[in-house]
Amino acid sequence: MEKRADQKTKGLTDVQKAALVKRQLKAQDHKFRSQGKTIEWSPRITSPYDLPIPGWNERRMTLRDFRLTCEREKIVLLQLPLPYRGLCLTCHDVPTIWIDSTLRGVERLQVAFHELGHYFMHKGLPLMLMSEKETDAVRDWYEVQADAVSIIALSPRPQLSKAMRKHANRVRKTQTNRSE
């Protein structure tokens, strides 16, 4: 007989509970995929520049943008102390993003948009069914893509261009001073 969830987690710390839930979700997801069930998804985004978020790559994103996007996409957002920084999982068609609630400031923002990147770019991909070796390489590539999303969230094009111009001007000034 299946133990009730509260009995299973009795006496566990928050961190242990989170690890247990993560294992359960992964097992469920694996079972779901191995039964050959397919998930209905809207088309995936293939470029980190193309996220359907108002102001994307035009202004710096905030936690408010993240929350509103989760609401719009019907992503369940779980914020609690975790043994990892963040996680994006889908179980039985319900996308879920987990964020370690002990994270603050820029780090929290980075993790939030990294996970959102996984949601937009990798949802429904059959990661579990790939061979071990292939999975490692693919997983690495997914991480690079999710990192690109979080970088764009924090340094959108106008901000990056401004920083580059400022830096270029400083270099130019140093060179002019030297030649005088």
Q: Please report, as residue ranges, which positions from 55 to 84 form the binding site for Zn ion (by CB under 5 A).
A: none
Amino acid at 2: E
Cβ-Cβ contacts under 8 Å for 114 (sequence gap 6 or more): 86, 146, 147, 149, 150
Closest separation in Å from C-beta 180 to Zn ion: 50
What x/- string results for residues 98 through 137 when contact with Zn ion is judged by CB under 5 A? ----------------------------------------
**Total residues binding Zn ion (CB under 5 A):** 2
Q: SS3 of 131, please?
A: coil
Closest separation in Å from C-beta 176 to Zn ion: 44
Q: Which is nearer to Zn ion, 53 or 116 (CB)?
A: 116
Q: Please report, as residue ranges, which positions from 134 to 163 form the binding site for Zn ion (by CB under 5 A).
A: 143, 146
Nearest CA among 26, 63, 43 for reference residue 122: 43
Q: SS3 of 143, please?
A: helix
Q: Which is nearer to Zn ion, 61 or 146 (CB)?
A: 146
DSSP conformation class of 77 = E
Q: Which is nearer to Zn ion, 103 or 146 (CB)?
A: 146
Q: Which is nearer to Zn ion, 21 or 111 (CB)?
A: 111
Closest separation in Å from C-beta 88 to Zn ion: 7
Closest separation in Å from C-beta 151 to Zn ion: 13
| Phi, psi angles (nearest 5°) of residue 89 | -135, 150
* Widest pairwise Cα distance in the chain: 84
Here the tokens at position 105 are: 């400031």
Does 18 bind Zn ion (CB under 5 A)? Our answer is no
Q: Which is nearer to Zn ion, 53 or 97 (CB)?
A: 97
Say how far apart CA 119 and CA 74 lie, in whole Å. Answer: 11
Given the rule CB under 5 A, which residues bind Zn ion?
143, 146
